[in-house]
């Protein structure tokens, strides 16, 4: 099966590399040259447009920032829809609004192609390791056909329901992650101002009920003051906006999500939107006038 891959950013580049390493014939496209050249050096071919990718691939994977980019790349001029072959499968692995997934799926179906929305969780390290958690929406037969490919990029791939369900699941994931980082941040600012070494607090509680994958991933970064992304605050703002919009549209108040959104907006005003979302701790530090870091 020849795979086309569009969007070679922090996540897409290592995911595409893992497909290439697994032996798949790969055709790649991005508007930035650097990562395309890296994939070509790894044995992939390059295409000049999304349309060209679709014309030459049995399966097209997209890994783009948000709904507008996915609509542009799939539905727009010189996009996937213009070139897609009858019977081929398009898999959007970006985190976008579930309603956009449904719209894209309908348009592709009308052209005889299949569609899955398959966003991921795990961040760059798991994209590199090929151990992402993949949440999928779409038809079961299509999912079964694609599962071996998905499992070259992820440790798990779970079919959650119809098209759009993958992104509903991802919104739930992003709410839990955002609230978890906020809780860890608030707690560690308290410990620091109380004069207790936050690294000791982390080591003492990580194996108990308060421990989490989020805490294990973000606390070492916070202690090192390493806010290089990873997952940028601006992308998490995008996910929380999609969560708020979707929730309000179907009549679900999400008060905690709204509150964390404002923490992130405050950091954006301070020019920190390109920080990793572990940088959320800086909001709580600003309130208390302390900094959480490793003891010298
Ligand atoms: P990124 O900004 O690093 O990468 C996006 C890539 O898409 C870039 O290389 C960009 O040049 C390319 N692109 C944008 N518009 C394009 C177009 N019109 N045509 C072709 N290429 C185009 O973002 P990322 O961190 O890799 O995230 C991608 C998606 O994965 C997002 O939806 C994000 O929310 C989600 N995600 C990210 C992480 C993470 O930790 N970074 C984790 C899980 C999910």
Give per-residue pLDDT as tens, 187-242: 999 999 999 999 999 999 999 999 999 999 999 999 999 999 999 999 999 999 99
The pLDDT tens digits of the residues spanning 71-108 come to 999 999 999 999 999 999 999 999 999 999 999 999 99
Task: Enter the pTM of the model.
Answer: 0.94
Residues 155 and 11 in one domain: yes
Q: 63 C-alpha vs ligand 1 centroid, how far in Å?
A: 5
Q: Measured between alpha carbons, how far is 124 from 18 in angstroms, rounded to an integer? A: 13
Task: Mark which of 138, 163, 188 sits at the end of a domain.
Answer: 163
Q: Measured between alpha carbons, how far is 245 from 250 in angstroms, rounded to an integer? A: 9
Q: Measured between alpha carbons, how far is 187 from 134 in angstroms, rounded to an integer? A: 30
Residues 9 and 156 in one domain: yes
Angle at 76 between CA 144 and CA 153, to 5 degrees: 30
Residue 217 domain-assigned (yes or no): yes
The pLDDT tens digits of the residues spanning 41-78 come to 999 999 999 999 999 999 999 999 999 999 999 999 99
Nearest CA owner, ligand 1 atom 3:
9
Q: 68 C-alpha vs ligand 1 centroid, how far in Å?
A: 12
Residue 295 domain-assigned (yes or no): no
The pLDDT tens digits of the residues spanning 231-286 come to 999 999 999 999 999 999 999 999 999 999 999 999 999 999 999 999 999 999 99
Residues 157 and 223 in one domain: no
Ligand 1 atom with the shortest distance to the CA of 235? 34
Ligand 1 atom with the shortest distance to the CA of 94? 32
Residues 26 and 144 in one domain: yes
Residues 127 and 187 in one domain: no
Residues 271 and 195 in one domain: yes
User: Contact 102/80 with Cβ under 8 angstroms?
Assistant: no
Ligand 1 atom with the shortest distance to the CA of 66? 32
Residues 14 and 37 in one domain: yes
Residue 293 domain-assigned (yes or no): no
Residue 156 domain-assigned (yes or no): yes
Residue 51 domain-assigned (yes or no): yes
Residues 136 and 215 in one domain: no
Nearest CA owner, ligand 1 atom 25:
10
Percentage with pLDDT > 70 across the chain: 100
Residue 199 domain-assigned (yes or no): yes
Ligand 1 atom with the shortest distance to the CA of 35? 9
**Which pLDDT value is given to residue 13?**
98
Q: 28 pairs with which residues across the strands?
A: 5, 46
Ligand 1 residue neighbourhood (C-beta within 6 Å) = 6-12, 29-32, 35, 63-66, 69, 72-73, 94-95, 120-121, 123-124, 230-231, 235
For position 95, which CATH number holds? 3.40.50.720
Q: 65 C-alpha vs ligand 1 centroid, how far in Å?
A: 4
Segments forming the whole domain that contains residue 58: 2-163
Task: Mark which of 142, 163, 184 sits at the end of a domain.
Answer: 163
Ligand 1 atom with the shortest distance to the CA of 124? 40
Q: Which residue among 52, 74, 235 has the greatest number of ligand 1 atoms within 8 angstroms of its CB, and so is best to mutate?
A: 235
- Catalytic residues, by residue number, are 170
Task: Mark which of 131, 163, 195 sits at the end of a domain.
Answer: 163
Residues 142 and 230 in one domain: no
For position 263, which CATH number holds? 1.10.1040.10
Residue 60 domain-assigned (yes or no): yes
Q: 207 C-alpha vs ligand 1 centroid, how far in Å?
A: 33
Residues 159 and 192 in one domain: no
Nearest CA owner, ligand 1 atom 31:
65
Nearest CA owner, ligand 1 atom 30:
94
Strands (E), the chain: 2-6, 25-29, 45-46, 59-62, 89-92, 114-117, 120-121, 132-137, 154-161
Q: 147 C-alpha vs ligand 1 centroid, how far in Å?
A: 22
Residues 109 and 189 in one domain: no
Residue 296 domain-assigned (yes or no): no
The two structure tokens encoding residue 72? 């542009």
Mean local confidence (pLDDT), 3-21: 98
Residues 203 and 279 in one domain: yes
**Domain count within the chain:** 2
Is residue 296 over pLDDT 90?
no
Mean local confidence (pLDDT), 150-154: 98
């Amino acid at each position: 099966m020849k795979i086309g891959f569009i969007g070679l950013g922090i996540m897409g580049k290592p995911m595409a590399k893992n497909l290439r390493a697994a032996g798949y014939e790969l055709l790649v496209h991005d508007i930035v040259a650097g990562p395309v050249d890296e994939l070509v050096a790894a044995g992939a071919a390059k295409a000049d447009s999304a349309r060209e990718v679709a014309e030459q691939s049995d399966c097209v994977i997209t890994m783009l920032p948000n709904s507008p980019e996915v609509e542009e790349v799939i539905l727009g001029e010189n996009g996937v829809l213009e070139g897609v072959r009858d019977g081929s499968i398009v898999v959007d692995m970006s985190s976008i609004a579930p309603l956009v997934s449904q719209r894209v799926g309908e348009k592709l179906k009308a052209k005889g192609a299949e569609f899955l929305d398959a966003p991921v969780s795990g961040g760059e390290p798991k994209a590199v390791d090929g151990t992402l958690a993949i949440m999928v929406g779409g038809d079961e037969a299509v999912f079964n056909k694609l599962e071996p490919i998905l499992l070259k990029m992820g440790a798990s791939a779970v079919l959650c329901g119809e098209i759009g369900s993958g992104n509903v699941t991802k919104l739930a994931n992003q709410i839990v992650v955002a609230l978890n980082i906020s809780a860890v941040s608030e707690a560690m600012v308290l410990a620091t101002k109380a004069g207790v070494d936050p690294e000791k607090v982390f080591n003492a509680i990580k194996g108990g009920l308060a421990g989490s994958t989020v805490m294990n991933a973000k606390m070492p970064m916070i202690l090192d003051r390493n806010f290089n992304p990873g997952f940028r605050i601006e992308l998490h703002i995008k996910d929380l906006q999609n969560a708020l919009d979707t929730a309000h549209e179907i009549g679900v108040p999400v008060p905690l999500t709204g509150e964390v959104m404002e923490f992130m907006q405050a950091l954006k005003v301070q020019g920190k939107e390109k920080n990793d979302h572990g940088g959320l701790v800086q909001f709580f530090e600003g309130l208390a006038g302390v900094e959480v870091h490793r003891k010298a």
